[in-house]
């Protein structure tokens, strides 16, 4: 039974006549019970039931019928108040939830802005890096390159994206070389090595390359990041230095041989530097033709 129905039944209590000694309602069966519908604009709001324990006079019935519209209006107001309270409670709850969601969105937006700034900094650093950087998917398709890659290989970013790095293959390394490389990175390990590649114009160059696997949150390898450094000039200089050293060793051996031959060729004790030194006489052998040629 709703609160509204309880209110209407209480209004009907004064019309009951059977009371016990304490003034309360008795336990005897009512003599007459009548139900009246409560209508507002042809809308049924409830039913009023009135029980009497003696015959009702016509005046009482007329009074009840006069009170029914008032009771119906009271019930309608009460129901509206209840609905208003329910709507108010719902609105307050929705407002609380909206406030929580707004706070969460604000925090998420702040985190996204921070991440965006961090990504912009990282992107700027990658763009400005002196070494060539290549990002590929798991199958090796190029997804991104930096400007240094274009300077190294001659391929523009638009030309490189979608290609496989094998477009740089100069044919110097065998299949076993590349098979070991792919086995290493697909297992999640970092690969480092030196290799000879080919530029877009066909010229060969040497590079040091480091390939780092990128894992997803599930631990699966999804991408690879390759950092390439052109070492062609460094290797040329190292080779030139090695050739210079090879040429310097025979020349030094020849000068030592000529010097020993000149010293051992003296016959006269007066000019023999060894004997002269033993006799306390000094001779400058660096002025000899054999040593100054």
Q: How many independent structural domains does the chain possess?
A: 3
226 DSSP β-pair partners: 134, 211
Residue 191 lies in a domain: yes
Residue 114 lies in a domain: no
- Residue 82: is its pLDDT beyond 60? yes
Residue 118 lies in a domain: no
pLDDT in tens, 179-207: 999 999 999 999 999 999 999 999 999 99
Say whether both 222 and 279 belong to one domain. no
- C-beta of residue 131 within 8 angstroms of C-beta of residue 226: no
Domain boundary among 230, 260, 276: 230
Domain boundary among 47, 74, 96: 96
Tell me the C-alpha distance between 150 and 163, whole Å. Answer: 14
DSSP state of 221: E
Q: Which of 9-23, 31-45, 208-222 has the lowest mean pLDDT?
A: 9-23
- % of the chain with per-residue pLDDT over 90: 42
Residue 110 lies in a domain: no
Residue 117 lies in a domain: no
DSSP state of 276: H
Tell me the C-alpha distance between 119 and 126, whole Å. Answer: 10
Residue 280 lies in a domain: yes
Say whether both 79 and 139 belong to one domain. no
Say whether both 192 and 168 belong to one domain. yes
Specify the pTM: 0.52
- C-beta of residue 48 within 8 angstroms of C-beta of residue 38: yes
Tell me the C-alpha distance between 120 and 274, whole Å. Answer: 79
Q: Which of 10-14, 109-113, 114-118, 282-286 has the lowest mean pLDDT?
A: 10-14
Burial class (CB in 10 A: 0-12, 13-18, 19+), 40: middle
The angle subtended at Cα 217 by Cα 216 and Cα 223, nearest 5°, is 5
Domain boundary among 42, 74, 96: 96
Q: Which of 40-44, 92-96, 266-270 has the lowest mean pLDDT?
A: 266-270
DSSP 19-82: B-TTSSB-SSPPSEEEEEEEEETTEEEEEEEEEESSPPPHHHHHHHHHHHHHHHHHHHHHHHHH
Residue 12 lies in a domain: yes
Q: 285: which 2 tokens?
A: 């052998």
Say whether both 167 and 219 belong to one domain. yes
Residue 55 lies in a domain: yes
Say whether both 138 and 224 belong to one domain. yes
Tell me the C-alpha distance between 289 and 263, whole Å. Answer: 12
Say whether both 18 and 77 belong to one domain. yes
- C-beta of residue 135 within 8 angstroms of C-beta of residue 141: no
User: At 219, which CATH number?
Assistant: 3.30.450.20
- The residue among 68, 64, 67 whose CA lies nearest residue 51 is 64
State which residues form the domain around 149: 131-230
Say whether both 224 and 272 belong to one domain. no
Say whether both 284 and 218 belong to one domain. no
Pairing type for strands 191-198 and 221-230 reads unpaired
Tell me the C-alpha distance between 31 and 16, whole Å. Answer: 10
pLDDT band at 255 (very low <50, low <70, confident <90, very high): low
Tell me the C-alpha distance between 222 and 138, whole Å. Answer: 5
Say whether both 140 and 204 belong to one domain. yes
pLDDT in tens, 37-64: 777 777 777 777 777 766 666 777 777 7
Burial class (CB in 10 A: 0-12, 13-18, 19+), 193: middle
Say whether both 135 and 222 belong to one domain. yes
Say whether both 201 and 258 belong to one domain. no
- The residue among 144, 146, 147 whose CA lies nearest residue 161 is 144
Say whether both 142 and 220 belong to one domain. yes
């Amino acid at each position: 039974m709703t609160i509204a129905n309880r209110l209407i039944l209480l209004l009907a209590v004064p019309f009951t006549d059977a009371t016990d000694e304490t003034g309360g309602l008795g336990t005897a069966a009512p003599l007459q019970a009548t139900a009246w519908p409560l209508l507002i604009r042809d809308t049924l709001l409830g039913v009023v039931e009135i029980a009497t324990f003696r015959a009702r006079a016509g005046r009482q019935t007329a009074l009840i019928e006069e009170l029914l519209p008032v009771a119906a209006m009271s019930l309608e107001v009460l129901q509206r108040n209840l609905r208003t309270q329910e709507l108010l409670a719902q609105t307050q709850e929705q407002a609380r939830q909206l406030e929580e969601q707004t706070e969460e969105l604000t925090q998420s937006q702040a985190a996204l802005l921070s991440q965006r700034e961090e990504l912009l900094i990282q992107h700027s650093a990658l763009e400005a890096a002196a070494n060539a950087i290549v990002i590929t998917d798991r199958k090796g398709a190029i997804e991104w390159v930096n400007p240094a890659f274009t300077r190294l290989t001659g391929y523009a970013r638009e030309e490189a994206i979608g290609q496989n790095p094998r477009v740089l293959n100069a044919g110097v390394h065998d299949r076993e070389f590349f098979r070991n490389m792919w086995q290493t990175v697909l297992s999640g390990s970092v690969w480092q090595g030196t290799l000879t590649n080919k530029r877009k114009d066909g010229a060969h160059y040497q590079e040091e390359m480091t390939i780092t696997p990128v894992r997803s949150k599930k631990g699966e390898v999804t991408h690879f990041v390759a950092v390439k450094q052109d070492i062609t000039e460094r290797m040329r200089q190292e080779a030139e230095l090695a050739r210079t050293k090879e040429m310097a060793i025979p020349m030094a051996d020849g000068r030592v041989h000529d010097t020993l031959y000149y010293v051992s060729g003296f016959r006269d004790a007066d000019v023999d530097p060894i004997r002269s030194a033993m006799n306390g006489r000094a001779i400058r052998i660096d002025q000899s033709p054999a040593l100054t040629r």
